[in-house]
Structure 1
Amino acid sequence: MPLQSDDENMGYCSYTYTVTVNADSELMSNISLETASAVLQSCIKLYGATDFKKSIDEVVLDIRDLCKANRCCLLLTDFEAETCRLLSDSHIKEGEMGPIENLLDDSFFEIVKTWPATIDGSDFLMIKNQQDMEVLRSRNQLWYESLKGFDVRTLVLFPLVYNGDTKGYIWVTDFDVDNSLKIRETLELTTYFIAYAIANYQLLNRLEIMSSVDLLTGVYNRNAMNNRVDRYTSGKMALPRKYGIVFADLNGLKQANDTGGHSAGDKLLKGAAEVLRQLFYDSNIYRAGGDEFMIIAENVPEEEIEKRMEKIRLDSESPENISFAVGGYYESEGGDIRFAMRTADERMYADKERYYKKFPERKRK
């Protein structure tokens, strides 16, 4: 929109734009054929592969090639936990400060926290020359110093936003500035699909955790235990030749619930799981149900398993300690795991009888 000027050597123009909360699919799809092809290839890799990490690595490599850049990185962020981690990195050469994954430690999040305010008012940041770098210096000295430390001269940074939540950032350094418009156009759309893919991947991970982890104690749940045993018995997973099965039944849960309520019982269960985690740090621990836990100890020597069970028995005799009844079975020839489980369970109940005969005053009502 040219505007008239009283000075023949000076002219003016006005530029207007509309800010919308949601992405405009019509505007986003109004792109060149070359850009559309690049974005489509990324989408096929993101949604057509079974290996999420591999597909992300391929897309990051494609973006680096498209930008003719030295490096392209994808960083996942968690602003609530104030943490970040490198998901993917593609580079031609490392900087003088060494591999970037060694530098992106917890302290790096202090820089990441400054990014939203620095790019506020835009959906990306592009530094094409020293003049742009000086503008960044005036806005964000901390980030400027970090980039100088990495010897970064040009940069494109896009947040990965899905449903208003920033999942991470993708950035390109030392790119082809003559191709800036195409780079912006391609990344603007590609990052939209990357953010969606990450959100979907994280959701599936959370669902998988919920289906396999006991949310109260943090150990594996009965569903995970049954699935693992089924994989062993069906041959989908090789059963180790030497393994041990341990059943541990928590004593006193009913009394804790009766006297202190379910919050006291929950606290006791959490403590019991922690005791088992510390002892069987090299094994898989499952909450089989209620107050019962099962441990699968693969390639742990029999004498070591017996030593740990004996410690549990001795510790259980003191009323100040969390108390278990335990039973185990050790297999050295790769025998039937279901037989091992039945035997360990029977021995656990025998140990419970022994415990209450020795301490009848603690017997459950």
Structure 2
Amino acid sequence: MDFDNLLSHYKAKACVVSVEFFPDGTYGNIRVVAGNKAHCDDMAGLNHPFEPGCPYEACFPKNPNFEDHCYRCVHDGKPLHAYVDLYMMDLWLNMFLLPLDSDQENVGYCLYCYEVAPKADSSAMADISADIAADVLKACIKLRGSDDVKKAFQEVAEDICDICGSGHCCILLTDEEKRSCTVFSDALREGADAVPMDHYLEGFYEITETWSEMLDGSTCIIVKDEHDMENLRKRNPVWGASLDEANISSLVLFPLRHGKDLLGYMWVLNFDVSNVLKIKEMLELTTFFLASEIANYLLLNRLEILSTIDSLTGVRNRNEMNNRVDCIVEGKEPVPQAVLFADLNGLKRVNDEQGHAAGDKMLRAAASILQSVFQDGVVYRAGGDEFMILVNEISEDEVQDRVARVHFLSGKTENVRFSIGVCYGKKDIRKAMRLADERMYAFKNGYYEAHPELKYR
């Protein structure tokens, strides 16, 4: 076939790719045997003058998923389309593969037509089959139509299991700063030989760290047969061993990216390998929306934390304290058995003599002591140097033991000293707060009578 003549009719970037394949279902060399003017100009612009017959990685980034697409196109004789996020280059790739006739027994040819752009094209993204579109739309509706985000993601993961014929679908979030990972949703099909991901979490972050290198610019990792699994074992023995231990024979793994941020990963295990291309296309688009929803969820969580947590000490802030009291007054929450007010003695003196940085350090130390002693309660920063603690279920004797523990621990520090007032067993939260506050000030007055040199200093 006259490939140059064929390509001369294409205005878009186009080339002809040859694929060497073998009877055992594997493939060998993949080469770019011809290119049209747009393709050659593109290569020249990248300072890689095109040479007919060169290995494909001389023109394009090496990518096992691209290799698999070319092989499937020439072997199955079917056209293929993919719209891919080239996140390593901040580009989107719209690619079309058309099978061509071949007069060679073990070499096939396909026409590769492609276009790259710096931003996603919604029309290209939506150019998918009706059944895939229906599956993705169903997931989007569930995510956007539910007030319970975690429950919606769990349902989507279960749907993905069914669509992929998979035994296990998991969404795992990773935290590079904490070097940890958490299970966001975990779906196991009934009867599947699978173990919940929580079973493997300890030390698993070290395995997730290797996945970026495994992806190497690809949008996903696909293992569909023993040949692929053996390649994975060679490249990543530790991960391969964990997959063997879990009896995994096939997997598709996608990174969850939002902009340039890696949020985590989603995978399906032991899926229907006869449907691998449809599954890849469906998950490619689904993970795009999942990552966006997860990013929104995490942002809202951070904003909620910022609105409820005192940024200096890490305990709940006054706004959250007032909301809690209102809920108790309205009967939406039970009245706590113990209400305590703890005032930090000598903060003004530290601020005046040592500076506010020293005062901030003193406040953080005080909050840390209160949180360590009242782990079963909630500590609030009620004001500048004042904290309130609410404990729902505790005996009166235990409260006194805890107060003694606070004084003991603060005595081990350089300058943290508390005045503490307690009210126990009152059914009216506002009266309990007033009594605890009055008793705290009585304690404080006694403290300054004993230490007049520290008063207001």
Same fold (TM over 0.5): yes
Residue 271, structure 1, aligned to residue 397, structure 2: no
> How large is the RMSD of aligned CA atoms in angstroms?
2.2
Count of residues paired in the alignment: 358
Q: Equivalent residue for 1:202?
A: 298
Q: Which has the larger displacement, 318-327 or 160-169?
A: 318-327
Q: Equivalent residue for 1:354?
A: 446
Residue 336, structure 1, aligned to residue 432, structure 2: no
Give distance in 1, aligned partners of 2:410 and 2:226: 69
Q: Equivalent residue for 2:437?
A: 345
1:108-119 aligned at under 5 Å gives the runs 108-119=204-215
Q: Is the 8 A contact 1:250 1:272 kept in 2?
A: yes
Q: Is the 8 A contact 1:316 1:323 kept in 2?
A: yes
**2:326 maps to which of 230, 238, 247:** 230
Q: Which has the larger displacement, 271-280 or 8-17?
A: 8-17
**1:32 maps to which of 117, 129, 134:** 129
| Post-superposition offset of 1:236 | 2.3
Give distance in 2, aligned partners of 1:35 and 1:124: 18
Larger proportion of helix: 1
Q: Is the 8 A contact 1:313 1:325 kept in 2?
A: no
Give distance in 2, aligned partners of 1:260 and 1:94: 64
> Would the alpha carbon gap of residues 318 and 188 (structure 1) be closer, same or farther in structure 2, given more than 3 Å must change?
closer
Residue 143, structure 1, aligned to residue 239, structure 2: yes
| Post-superposition offset of 1:16 | 5.5
Q: Equivalent residue for 1:193?
A: 289
| Post-superposition offset of 1:121 | 2.4
Q: Equivalent residue for 2:171?
A: 74
| Post-superposition offset of 1:133 | 1.6
Residue 85, structure 1, aligned to residue 179, structure 2: no
| Post-superposition offset of 1:256 | 1.0
The residue type paired with residue 454 of structure 2 is R
**2:340 maps to which of 240, 243, 246:** 246
% identity of equivalent residues: 49
TM-score normalised by structure 2 residue count: 0.74
Q: Equivalent residue for 1:122?
A: 218
| Post-superposition offset of 1:310 | 4.2
Give distance in 2, aligned partners of 1:319 and 1:85: 36
Give distance in 2, aligned partners of 1:267 and 1:104: 35
Q: Which runs of 5+ in 1 are unaligned?
A: none
In the TM superposition, what whole-angstrom CA distance separates every residue of 1:11-69 from its partner, at most 9, and x where no partner exists? 54453545555433222110111111111110111111011111010000000000011
Give distance in 2, aligned partners of 1:87 and 1:198: 9
Q: Which has the larger displacement, 273-282 or 68-77?
A: 273-282
Give distance in 1, aligned partners of 2:274 and 2:412: 75
Q: Which runs of 5+ in 2 are unaligned?
A: 1-14, 17-32, 35-52, 54-101
Give distance in 1, aligned partners of 2:267 and 2:414: 55
Q: Equivalent residue for 2:61?
A: none
The structure that has the greater radius of gyration is 2
The residue type paired with residue 64 of structure 1 is C
| Post-superposition offset of 1:357 | 0.7
The residue type paired with residue 435 of structure 2 is T
Q: Which has the larger displacement, 41-50 or 23-32?
A: 23-32
The residue type paired with residue 133 of structure 2 is A
| Post-superposition offset of 1:154 | 0.8
| Post-superposition offset of 1:286 | 0.4
Larger proportion of strand: 2
Give distance in 1, aligned partners of 2:434 and 2:396: 18
TM-score normalised by structure 1 residue count: 0.91
Q: Is the 8 A contact 2:225 2:249 kept in 1?
A: yes
The residue type paired with residue 30 of structure 1 is D
Q: Equivalent residue for 2:308?
A: 212
Q: Is the 8 A contact 2:369 2:409 kept in 1?
A: no
> Would the alpha carbon gap of residues 138 and 345 (structure 1) be closer, same or farther in structure 2, given more than 3 Å must change?
same
> Would the alpha carbon gap of residues 359 and 33 (structure 1) be closer, same or farther in structure 2, given more than 3 Å must change?
same
Q: Is the 8 A contact 1:313 1:326 kept in 2?
A: no
Q: Is the 8 A contact 1:326 1:351 kept in 2?
A: yes
Residue 171, structure 1, aligned to residue 303, structure 2: no
Give distance in 1, aligned partners of 2:396 and 2:115: 71
Give distance in 2, aligned partners of 1:102 and 1:160: 22
The residue type paired with residue 345 of structure 1 is D
> Would the alpha carbon gap of residues 127 and 269 (structure 1) be closer, same or farther in structure 2, given more than 3 Å must change?
same
| Post-superposition offset of 1:309 | 2.7
| Post-superposition offset of 1:132 | 1.5
What is the SS of the residue equivalent to 2:120?
A: coil
Q: Equivalent residue for 1:302?
A: 396
The residue type paired with residue 301 of structure 1 is S
| Post-superposition offset of 1:312 | 4.4
